């Protein structure tokens, strides 16, 4: 029939979501709010996409400078752009 | 014949008798099995030179030689065409030739000699086991003769071995009567004469190895028990138990075959322990029972109590609730901290969800060990308390920063790495704020997945072309996908429920 609402603990999920960490962070910042069980998975997805975009942008910056290594400045510039985009 | 059997009423003799009686009815496949038999004989006797010769000779002579056929039957160790009980019994009898392995040199000489007698033996006994002494005799004569008829060397080899080792040459010479001694099966009977002899060689194929890693079992078990006495005390969450057992995680992982499923400590300890250490479980249970019941060392008691308490707290509250406890109580002692951080690190290694556990452990521990550590507690209430939280938060950010370096596919500087972590921190802040706004806008105090979807839409991740489920499919592993994307199941049910 239907699957369980939680993932079986014995499963070895690759690229696991740090659900506990996310929930704890949310609780620390907004203790009066509650986060749903499936919500933190979507938060994890959001983080992944954010990091993905950030990485793409920094890589583009680094390649623009014809630098083989990603520098702090590249990341900084990329972060500015992406954070603005992810403002919502 | 009968005397022979009665004198040695061992299982082997009985089996042999059965086999012989049965064989007389079905002398089948002399040739093919003959070749195989000779091959097996070779392996047992370890004289390879004769193999080629015996093979060829076997093909020539295998016809109509019931003894050979029987030997072939018996010696079809590698030949698994027919796995009847009879062949198995035969194999048993074959594998236990006591003297065959012992004196390989002696085999060479008597083998050709035996082969001389072999033709004479051929038609002889099917079912009748002649006297041992007469049976011994033909090999001696053969040994004396040493003709170059190596065709049945293999077969004779074994018999000669047995004879030589069992009886010694003088014995063999005593009875030169049996020219037509029975077949090789009778030669196998020779071994029956001395069943006591080489215990070491007995049934190498069927030898059961004693459970050797006993010493390791006990040692590892004791160590596991020391650390896992907590795990056994509460029957509850698999999640909780590893927290208390974190210092012993390394030990657990070493001893147990699976490292990952250590999440469920108490069930897994019981489950995995019996698997490799079947004998040790009783000791484990006994010792653990002793530990939990008896006073034992004070630390262990504290550990047990603390584990129980921590587990109770965990069971009652959410992990973040317990982390709040830790934040508010904030009384880590330095030793507990020191233990908590390695514990925490080990927890992170095992299961990221266990991260909140060590801080509650730390919180509970001081309550338990208040008296001894109160002196140490007072000088540093605040600084030590914030450290585990910082570490866990940092660790979480680290998780995503690693993903960054993976996505970037380019080498990064360390400063850039730290920069990424700062950005993530800022991002989390923004995220929480936005979610709060969205939930408040919807008049809720709980953040729902719809809020998340709205956020992603506003971020431009979700468009009319790209839906949420597409992103979920792309980036999340299967288990999470199943939780997030509604799917229809049988019985007109949808999971997850909408």
pLDDT at residue B461 above 80? yes
Question: Which of A13, A36, A69 faces B447 most closely, judged by CB atoms?
Answer: A36
Q: Phi first, then psi: give them for residue B455, nearest 5 degrees.
A: -60, -45
Q: How far apart are CA B134 and CA B175, in angstroms?
A: 5
pLDDT at residue B434 above 70? yes
Which span out of B45-49, B232-236, B380-384, B413-417 was modeled with the highest average pLDDT? B413-417
Taking alpha carbons only, the member of B432, B305, B446 closest to residue B366 is B305
Spatial CB neighbours of B185, under 8 Å, sequence gap ≥ 6: B16, B19, B20, B23, B67, B70, B71, B74, B125, B129
**Within 13 Å and on the Cβ side, how many CA atoms surround B446?**
8
Mean of pLDDT over chain B: 59
At B304-324, the pLDDT tens digits run 444 444 444 444 444 443 444
pLDDT at residue B61 above 80? no
Answer whether B323 sits within 8 Å of A39, measured CB to CB.
no
CB distance A16 to B352 below 8 Å:
yes
At B157-184, the pLDDT tens digits run 555 666 666 665 555 455 544 444 444 4
Q: How far apart are CA B73 and CA B219, in angstroms?
A: 48
How much is the pLDDT for B489? 86
Question: Which of A7, A43, A74 faces B452 most closely, judged by CB atoms?
Answer: A43
CA B372 to each of CA A33, A55, B95, B162, B302: distance values in angstroms, whole numbers, following the listed order: 39, 50, 67, 75, 11
CB distance B434 to B427 below 8 Å:
no
In this structure, what DSSP letter does residue B494 have? E
ipTM score assigned to the predicted complex: 0.90
H helix count then E strand count, chain A: 3, 1
Answer whether B419 sits within 8 Å of A30, measured CB to CB.
no
Shortest Cα distance, chain A CAs vs residue B244, angstroms: 18
Q: How far apart are CA B187 and CA B165, in angstroms?
A: 13
How much is the pLDDT for B416? 87
Shortest Cα distance, chain B CAs vs residue A66, angstroms: 12
- Please list every residue in chain A whose beta carbon sits closer than 8 Å to the beta carbon of residue B414: none
Q: Phi first, then psi: give them for residue B447, nearest 5 degrees.
A: -85, 125
Q: Phi first, then psi: give them for residue B495, nearest 5 degrees.
A: -130, 135
Question: Which of B356, B434, B461 faces A20 most closely, judged by CB atoms?
Answer: B356
Q: For residue A80, count other CB atoms closer than 10 A to its CB.
A: 12
Q: How far apart are CA B308 and CA B358, in angstroms?
A: 13
CA A36 to each of CA A5, A23, A78, B78, B287: distance values in angstroms, whole numbers, following the listed order: 12, 9, 31, 63, 43
At B325-373, the pLDDT tens digits run 444 444 444 444 444 444 444 444 444 444 444 444 444 444 444 444 4
Task: Give the mean model confidence (pLDDT) for residues B22-50.
Answer: 49
CB distance B49 to B89 below 8 Å:
no
CB distance B158 to B41 below 8 Å:
yes
- Please list every residue in chain A whose beta carbon sits closer than 8 Å to the beta carbon of residue B399: 18, 21
**Within 13 Å and on the Cβ side, how many CA atoms surround B310?**
34
Q: How many beta-carbon contacts under 8 Å exist across A and B? A: 219
Task: Pick from A55, A61, A64, A76 the residue to mutate for testing the B interface (most B CBs within 10 Å).
Answer: A55
CB distance A44 to A18 below 8 Å:
yes
How much is the pLDDT for B15? 72
Shortest Cα distance, chain B CAs vs residue A3, angstroms: 7
Q: How far apart are CA B69 and CA B37, in angstroms?
A: 9
**Within 13 Å and on the Cβ side, how many CA atoms surround B488?**
2
Q: Which residue of A has its CA nearest to B468?
A: A42
pLDDT at residue B14 above 70? yes
How much is the pLDDT for B395? 86
Task: Give the mean model confidence (pLDDT) for residues A52-79.
Answer: 89
Q: Which residue of B has its CA nearest to A39?
A: B449
CA B476 to each of CA B189, B202, B221, B487: distance values in angstroms, whole numbers, following the listed order: 70, 59, 39, 16
**Parallel, antiparallel or unpaired: strands A34-35 and B446-447:** parallel
Q: How far apart are CA B184 and CA B295, in angstroms?
A: 69
- Please list every residue in chain B whose beta carbon sits closer than 8 Å to the beta carbon of residue A77: none
**Parallel, antiparallel or unpaired: strands B493-495 and B487-489:** antiparallel
Answer whether B430 sits within 8 Å of A10, measured CB to CB.
no
At B106-127, the pLDDT tens digits run 444 544 444 444 444 544 444 4
Q: For residue B266, count other CB atoms closer than 10 A to its CB.
A: 22
Shortest Cα distance, chain B CAs vs residue A29, angstroms: 7
Which span out of B1-10, B138-147, B469-478 was modeled with the highest average pLDDT? B469-478
How much is the pLDDT for B335? 45
pLDDT at residue B199 above 70? no
H helix count then E strand count, chain B: 27, 3
Q: Which residues of B44-63 are buried (b: 16+ CB within 10 A; e: fewer)?
A: bbebeebbebbbebbeebbe
How much is the pLDDT for B415? 87
Record the pTM.
0.38
How much is the pLDDT for B498? 72
Q: Phi first, then psi: give them for residue A31, nearest 5 degrees.
A: -65, -20
Shortest Cα distance, chain B CAs vs residue A67, angstroms: 10
Shortest Cα distance, chain A CAs vs residue B345, angstroms: 14
Answer whether B445 sits within 8 Å of A33, measured CB to CB.
yes
How much is the pLDDT for B404? 87
Spatial CB neighbours of B390, under 8 Å, sequence gap ≥ 6: none
Q: Is B472 helix (H, G, I), strand (E, B) or coil?
A: helix
Chain centre to alpha carbon of residue B443? 56
pLDDT at residue B450 above 80? yes
Q: Which residues of A40-75 are buried (b: 16+ CB within 10 A; e: fewer)?
A: bbbbbbbbbbbbbbbbebbbebbeeeeeeebbbbbb
Answer whether A70 sits within 8 Å of B411, measured CB to CB.
yes
Shortest Cα distance, chain A CAs vs residue B440, angstroms: 10
At B226-265, the pLDDT tens digits run 666 655 555 444 444 444 444 444 444 455 555 444 444 4
Least confident of A34-43, B211-220, B221-230, B458-467: B211-220
Taking alpha carbons only, the member of B429, B432, B495 closest to residue A39 is B432
Answer whether B352 sits within 8 Å of A16, measured CB to CB.
yes
pLDDT at residue B393 above 50? yes
Rounded to 10 degrees, the C-alpha dihedral B391/B395/B398/B403 comes to: -170
Tell whether the torsion through CA atoms of B4, B7, B13 and B18 is positive or negative: positive
How much is the pLDDT for B440? 92
How much is the pLDDT for B129? 47
Q: How far apart are CA B307 and CA B233, in angstroms?
A: 9
Per-residue pLDDT band for B285 (boundaries 50, 70, 90) equals very low
CB distance B395 to B355 below 8 Å:
yes
pLDDT at residue B279 above 60? no
Burial of B15 (0-12, 13-18, 19+ CB in 10 A): middle
Mean of pLDDT over chain A: 84
User: Does any CB of chain A come closer than 8 Å to the CB of residue B410?
Assistant: yes
Answer whether B352 sits within 8 Å of A21, measured CB to CB.
yes
Question: Which of B260, B416, B482 faces A70 most closely, judged by CB atoms?
Answer: B416
Strand partners, B416: none
Q: How far apart are CA B385 and CA B246, in angstroms?
A: 19
Task: Pick from A9, A61, A66, A81 the residue to mutate for testing the B interface (most B CBs within 10 Å).
Answer: A9
**Domain annotation for chain A: domains and CATH numbers:** 36-88 (1.10.20.10)
Q: Is B100 helix (H, G, I), strand (E, B) or coil?
A: coil
How much is the pLDDT for B22? 66
Q: Percent of chain B having pLDDT more than 90?
A: 3
């Amino acid at each position: 029939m239907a699957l369980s609402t939680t993932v079986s603990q014995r499963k070895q999920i690759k690229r696991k979501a740090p659900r506990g960490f996310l929930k704890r962070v949310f609780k620390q910042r907004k203790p009066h709010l509650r986060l749903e069980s499936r919500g933190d998975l979507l938060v994890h997805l959001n983080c992944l996409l954010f990091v993905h975009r950030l990485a793409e942008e920094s890589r583009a910056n680094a390649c623009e400078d014809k630098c083989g290594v990603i520098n702090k400045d590249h990341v900084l510039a990329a972060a500015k752009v992406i954070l603005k985009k992810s403002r919502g | 014949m009968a005397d022979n059997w009665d004198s040695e009423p061992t299982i082997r003799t009985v089996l042999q008798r059965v086999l012989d009686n049965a064989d007389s009815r079905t002398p089948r496949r002399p040739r093919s099995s003959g070749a195989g038999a000779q091959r097996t004989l070779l392996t047992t006797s370890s004289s390879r030179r004769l193999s080629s010769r015996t093979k060829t000779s076997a093909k020539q002579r295998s016809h109509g030689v019931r003894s050979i056929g029987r030997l072939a039957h018996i010696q079809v160790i590698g030949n698994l065409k027919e796995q009847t009980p009879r062949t198995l019994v035969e194999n048993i009898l074959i594998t236990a030739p006591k003297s065959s392995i012992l004196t390989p040199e002696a085999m060479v000489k008597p083998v050709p000699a035996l082969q001389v007698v072999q033709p004479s033996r051929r038609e002889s006994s099917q079912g009748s086991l002649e006297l041992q002494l007469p049976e011994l005799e033909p090999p001696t004569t053969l040994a004396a003769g040493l003709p170059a008829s190596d065709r049945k060397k293999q077969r004779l080899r074994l018999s000669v071995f047995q004879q030589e080792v069992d009886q010694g040459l003088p014995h063999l010479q005593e009875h030169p009567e049996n020219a037509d001694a029975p077949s090789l099966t009778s030669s196998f009977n020779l071994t029956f004469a001395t069943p006591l002899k080489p215990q070491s060689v007995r049934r190498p194929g069927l030898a059961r190895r004693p459970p050797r890693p006993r010493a390791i079992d006990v040692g590892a078990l004791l160590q596991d028990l020391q650390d896992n006495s907590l795990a056994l005390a509460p029957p509850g969450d698999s999640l909780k138990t590893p927290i208390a057992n974190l210092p012993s995680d390394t030990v657990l992982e070493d001893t147990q075959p699976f490292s990952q499923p250590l999440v469920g400590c108490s069930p897994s300890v019981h489950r995995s322990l019996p698997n490799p250490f079947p004998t040790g479980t009783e000791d484990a249970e006994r010792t653990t029972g002793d530990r939990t019941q008896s006073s034992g060392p004070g630390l262990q008691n504290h550990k047990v109590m603390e584990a129980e308490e921590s587990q109770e707290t965990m069971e009652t509250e959410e992990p973040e609730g317990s982390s709040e406890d830790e934040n508010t109580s904030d009384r880590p002692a330095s030793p507990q901290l020191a233990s908590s951080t390695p514990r925490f690190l080990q927890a992170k290694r095992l299961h990221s969800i266990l991260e909140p556990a060590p801080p509650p452990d730390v919180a509970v521990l001081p309550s338990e060990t208040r008296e001894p550590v109160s002196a140490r507690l007072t000088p540093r209430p605040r600084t030590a308390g914030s450290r585990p939280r910082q570490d866990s938060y940092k660790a979480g950010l680290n998780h995503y920063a690693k993903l960054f370096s993976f996505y970037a596919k380019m080498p990064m500087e360390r400063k850039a790495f730290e920069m990424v972590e700062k950005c993530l921190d800022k991002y989390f802040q923004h995220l929480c704020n936005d979610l709060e706004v969205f939930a408040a806008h919807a008049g809720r105090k709980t953040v729902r997945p719809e809020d998340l979807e709205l956020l992603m839409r506003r971020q431009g991740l979700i468009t009319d072309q790209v839906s949420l489920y597409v992103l979920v499919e792309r980036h999340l592993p299967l288990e999470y996908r199943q939780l997030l994307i509604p799917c229809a199941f049988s019985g007109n049910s949808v999971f997850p429920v909408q």
